[in-house]
Structure 1
Amino acid sequence: MTQNEVPLRIVLADDEPLMLAGLAAILNAQPDIEVLGTAPNGQQAVELVARTQPDVVCLDIEMPVMSGIQATREILSAHETQVVMLTTFRREDYLMDSLKAGASGFLLKTATPEQLAESIRTVASGEALLAPEMTRSLIRRSMEEDQSSGPGRPTQASPDQSVGRDSTVEPLSQRERDVLAQAALGLSNSEIGERLFIGAETVKTHMSRVLAKLQLRNRVQAVAYAHRHGIVADSPD
């Protein structure tokens, strides 16, 4: 970080004092991240966010007084910030409830300090992230919800169906479909840009249009959507 760059402002909430102190120490050790404050439960996290207006809020899910999921709903209903859920539990219901509440990231506490810091940067840049261990769960749950929603809903496309022939993404331009297909591989904006020979900011613009046209909340939902409909590019070398 240069002298003119402003560090990312973070709020942390966890009901385990040692975990909270450890997270704060890890993130404060990063030159481009500043922890504004910590909270032992969701209610105090909501109050702390209102006072400090951070760029990113990291919330544990299981906390007394108010859960991280409920705190996410209250925070995002009143503030422009990004939320990352941090949890020990690989539970699909926690994952889906977090995404429905508006969280942009879902990370397990088994992540390394480097992965945690990079996750904060990713979410702060406007992208979404999902612990790799939970990706398959998200795709499976999304497919089950589509199949149980009755006739008239999009069904999963066959694996060999081309992006261009998928009627469920008809509103998308060819370039938007290309970007979505690459995002489904878990690539970052810069990596997608390198593969498609366009700039990272252009990729970000295309992804924003994809979310708007498909009425999706964030990039994680877009990835699940892409897998449901067979919109996946060849894996990078």
Structure 2
Amino acid sequence: MRKTLRALGATTLAAGLVVAGTTTASAHVGVTPSTTAAGAYSLLTFGVPHGCDGSATETVSIQMPEQIITVTPSVNPNWDVEKVMEELDEPIDDGHGGEYTERVAEVVYTAKTPLPDDLRDAFELSLKLPEAVGETLVFPAVQECEEGETAWVQVPEEGESADGLDYPAPSFVLTAAEGDGHGDATSDDMSEDEAGAENVAASSEAGTSGASGAAAGTPALTWVALVLGAGGLVLGLLAFLRSRAQS
């Protein structure tokens, strides 16, 4: 029976051991967030770059930090996905008049066909980041293969760099949101209705300006027409008088 990541991760971290193949992996199972801003919604991409010491990957289990309540995994056609739920000690307000009584403790991807050692894949998880600037979120992961497994659960000690670890857990630091949310709105910040209203206003202003210009030009054109018309009448009268005199 497959070991749960939560139990394995806790045991591994407590003992300071790593369940892994006999050789050190050249690339890690890591996480790339679309944003690290505290309190923001982020799309986390977990990359699986290789198998276990040459063996094809069958299962990847990703443990969620305790601050994370809900998680929405993206569908990957090559894998079945399961959310492992955990009861909360106390219900948490969901912000919509209800409450959460359990949270997503782990997300497990099981390959429909084992992922060969020389191929890579990625999993996307959508979630809201905690409001804790400067805090490090750790996502211990276990990669089970046809032969052996690799536990990416090592966490650096205070003052230590993860670069020195053989099997570091995927992690990142929460940062402050950029900007203060104030200031003049730009076209990128406006809704379609606001942008449309602005365009209509601009068009109306341009139309009014054009109409004013036409109205201002009308008297001049009228005088030119009148002068030309008067000249034509004079020439016509002279021709008429000349023809009468000759007759």
Give TM class, smaller chain: under 0.3
Give 1 or 2: higher strand fraction. 2
Answer with 1 or 2: which has the greater Rg.
2
**Relative CO higher for 1 or 2, CA cutoff 8 Å, sep ≥ 6?**
2
**What is the TM-score with the length of structure 1 in the denominator?**
0.21
